[in-house]
Amino acid sequence: MTSSSRHLYQQIADDIRAQIADGTLVAGDQLPTEAELQERYDTSRHTARTAIAHLVQEGLVISRRPRGHFVRERRPMVYRPQSEFKRKPPELDIFMTLMADDGRMAAQDIDVAIVEGSPDVRQRLQLADGELAAVRRRVRKVEGEPYNINDSYFRLSDVQGSEIMHPANVERGTNQVMDELGIGQAKCLDEIYVRMPTPDESHRLQLLPGTPVAVHIVTGFDGDERPVQCVVNVLAGDRHVIVYERIRPQAESNQ
């Protein structure tokens, strides 16, 4: 590839990217075909194809063979970590409430396992050598489409024999069960990491190319600062916006 043709594929990609940014092309619109780009820019099929491939890798465009390429639609779900501690209808667990807020329906598959846990989880739960964890694993879906992976780890000794070990939805919420078990959470630390998915995550979340994930790790502590829960959420990057509200302390007390 010559220097000028390398420049040209970037120019084509820049032009299409700008049209998406300024709304000339909107979600769901079909892109010009390779043949059309080839003619419009007086270039090779290969250069037109390379330009489109770059936009696919950036997550701006999707391929729907044999129909062509389209501007990707984004319908991010509002994901509110703070809603966990807000009042909610007792028949809905946290995730259902989030979904209900958005007017969409959620389905969940839950399985429960007894595991060692990764170093990340063991460290956050402060597990002793040989101590095991219980994990509730879910893939949460909206209208059949997987949105996020939600794995909740507990010390096995805290939850053994309780409802938390049942592979089914807990109607009154696991936070309520934790309260009853004497391991109620007083505060949480949220950590949010951003990275590309593993092949397993790509598969479970049915991610398109150019789609990173947010990893939201929640460590819950009881009133004595003892970690009682570690939740690892893997969120499809194109399907979520994570939202927090912050109140300025002075505003509450002085204004």
Compute the distance between CA of residue 16 and CA of residue 34 in angstroms, rounded to an integer: 13
Establish if 27 lies at the interface with a copy of itself (CB under 8 A).
Answer: no
Q: Could you tell me the smallest distance in angstroms from the CB atom of residue 62 to a copy of itself?
A: 13
Instruction: Choose the binding region for a copy of itself from 24-32, 35-43, 79-87, 141-149 (rule: CB under 8 A).
Output: 79-87
Dihedral sign of CA atoms 174, 175, 179, 185 in order = positive
Q: Could you tell me the smallest distance in angstroms from the CB atom of residue 165 to a copy of itself?
A: 23
Compute the distance between CA of residue 62 and CA of residue 47 in angstroms, rounded to an integer: 18
Q: Could you tell me the smallest distance in angstroms from the CB atom of residue 157 to a copy of itself?
A: 22
| Binder among 114, 186, 203, 206 for a copy of itself (CB under 8 A) | 186
Establish if 198 lies at the interface with a copy of itself (CB under 8 A).
Answer: yes
Establish if 246 lies at the interface with a copy of itself (CB under 8 A).
Answer: yes
Q: Which is nearer to a copy of itself, 105 or 186 (CB)?
A: 186
- Which residues have CB under 8 Å from 69's CB, separation 6+? 30, 31, 52, 55, 56, 61, 62, 63
Compute the distance between CA of residue 172 and CA of residue 90 in angstroms, rounded to an integer: 6
Q: State which H helix or E strand residue 195 sits in.
A: strand 187-195
| Binder among 34, 151, 158, 238 for a copy of itself (CB under 8 A) | 238
For 68, how many CA atoms within 13 A lie in the half-sphere containing its CB?
Answer: 13
| Binder among 2, 3, 4, 23 for a copy of itself (CB under 8 A) | 23
Site for a copy of itself in 211-230 (CB under 8 A): 212-214, 223
Establish if 58 lies at the interface with a copy of itself (CB under 8 A).
Answer: yes
Beta-strand ranges (E) seen in 61-105 are 61-64, 68-71, 77-79
Letter string b/e over residues 4-17, b meaning 16 or more CB atoms within 10 A of that residue's CB: eeeebbeebbeebb
Which residues sit at the interface with a copy of itself, rule CB under 8 A? 10, 14, 17, 21, 23, 57-59, 76, 81-82, 84-85, 118-119, 184-199, 210, 212-214, 223, 235, 237-238, 240-251, 255
